Structure 1
């Protein structure tokens, strides 16, 4: 996971949190989070990168629409990331509320 960009990590989180989302659903979710437009030229190459790394699988709904599913490896990477984050901010974030 260390070799992913922040955007690619966010893609993983969005895909893991939805049931087989298609590209436009992922795009809409990220646009809401980032509060700005996500261009196709940024979205799809990054999706392809995380597919190539074995973190996500890409399937075909029809000839124009792909869906994305997190792999077991992708889930392990997200779990490891959350453990690492919790070492530094887990309890501190809860205490500050």
Structure 2
């Protein structure tokens, strides 16, 4: 996880919180959080990077729509990140 950008980590969190979201659903969630537009040219290359790293699985709903889901590695990486953060941040 150390080699991911903050944006890529945010992508993992959003994907984990939704049920096999498609790209536009992920984009909508990030735009709410960032309070600004997320360009397709930023979103999809970063999703592809997470797929290449084995943290996210990309599937196809139909000819035009892909969905994304965390792999077991992606879940382990998120859990490890949360454990690491909890050492420094208390509720």
Report the TM-score when normalising by structure 2.
0.98
Structure 1 residues not aligned, in runs of 5+: none
Aligned pairs (5 A) from 1:1-97? 1-89=1-89, 91=90, 94=91
Q: Which has the higher helix share?
A: 1
- Runs of 4+ residues over 2 Å off in structure 1: none
Q: Secondary structure at the match of 1:88?
A: coil
Structure 2: distance between partners of 1:59 and 1:88: 36
Equivalenced residue count is 91
Larger Rg: 1 or 2?
Answer: 1
Output the aligned Cα RMSD.
0.5
Per-residue displacement from partner, 1:39-73 (whole Å, max 9, x unpaired)? 00000000000000000000001111100000000
Structure 2: distance between partners of 1:15 and 1:7: 12
Report the TM-score when normalising by structure 1.
0.92
